[in-house]
Amino acid sequence: MNNFWIVFSHTYLTKIKSRQFLITTVITLALILLMTELPNLIKKFNGSDEKTIVLVDQTKQLAQPFTQMMEKTDKHVTIVQRTANEEKLRKQVLNGDVDGYLILSFGADGLPKAVFKTKSLTDQSLADQLQSVLQRIRSQQAAQHLNLSQEQLAQLNAPVDFHHVAVEKQAKSEKELSQARGLVYALLIIIYFAVIMYATMIATEVATEKSSRVMEILISSVSPVTHMFAKIAGVVFVGLTQLIIIFGFGYYAIKSNLEKMSGGFFDFFGFGDSSFVIMLYGLLFFILGFLLYATIAAFLGSLTSRIEDVNQMISPLTFLIVLAFMLAIFGLNNPEAPFVTVTSFIPFFTPMLMFLRVGMLDLPLWQTLLSIGLLIASIVILAVFGARVYKGGVLMYGRSNLLKEMKKALQLSKENK
């Protein structure tokens, strides 16, 4: 047992002090800070939101209602009415004196139409605003042609009264789903990148020791099985240390800027009242998922004699992780989909898919416990099998071929009993 703690502490301290750990932690914290401060940064880079639009009213009727309606829609857009010719207006747009000019006229049907000219077509949001205002004026004009009253027009344009209500009493509300979705999405990304990064780290660590022949010295004093599990435990704690730092900083950064994080992405992925229970589930599934994949990575790494072959050797493992992540991302919009339910009980996909379901749905406890039980059983089975492969694999050198090397490692393991 003493040998286990020696290998564990050496692995943990070496990784914590490594340049890779420090750089990845700093970069991750910088990305979190950038994301939370993004609205402020965009506003600073964009400068003033004020827009100036020249209105050329060929109808002699629409300028006043259009200007009044535009002021109510967006106070940052200033409408200036001019009668200048188009060539002069074009030069003003190219020089940046105005943001564009709008020509209003009547179509063949007697209803308003417009042409909006700007330096480029990149700012589609402004064009959409102008079009929306003109659409309302057009509706009013059409109502007058059809002799509709204002009350009839309002009734015609009134939005439909539509409510989405859940029948199940324990079902989450839209706000709760948004908050859960945001937390689940963030934790899924963390689990995905952490598992890939640290599983690769374990495989690379073992391959490095083998390629430098350090492994031959180590296994003379520490059994291969003890060495394997000490390596896994050490890297697990490295991952937890990094996650605690990232989570602590991320929680503070998001809470500090929560009021500014609205609209678009932030409306769909809410970051409001984070559920402590979901975070605990996230930690549990992260640890179990990591142990599962790390065990596979360790014995795959033991089959590799050269560092250059590590990525090729663990490519099946990487494929499984990517597939699990993609299924989870697709399942965010519909966590009750049959493919999400079925795959959540497959141990290789459980850490992400079952965590998604736990975070988004009100599941029966037996489903959660069953998935965790299957995951733990799979870890034990893979640990026993992986230990046998690892025991023989660390003594093998030469070119790497997954199936042949695994078979040879098992044979060596039996011979060394």
Phi, psi (5° rounding) for residue 224?
Answer: -55, -40
Q: Chain-centre distance of CA 68, in angstroms?
A: 42
Whether the CB-CB separation of 70 and 79 falls below 8 Å is answered with yes
According to DSSP, the residues that pair with 112 across neighbouring strands are 106
Question: Quick one: pLDDT at residue 265?
Answer: 45
**Domain definitions of the chain by residue range:** 49-157, 173-415
In tens, the pLDDT along 290-303 reads 888 888 877 777 66
Average pLDDT, the chain: 75
Residue 76 has pLDDT above 90, yes or no: no
Whether the CB-CB separation of 86 and 59 falls below 8 Å is answered with no
Higher per-residue confidence, 408 vs 22: 22
**Residue 144, SS3?**
helix
Query: For residue 374, what pLDDT band results from cuts at 50, 70 and 90?
Result: very high
Q: Give the H/E segment covering residue 122.
A: none
According to DSSP, the residues that pair with 48 across neighbouring strands are none
- Architecture of the domain defined by 49-157: 3-Layer(aba) Sandwich (3.40)
In tens, the pLDDT along 16-29 reads 888 877 888 888 88
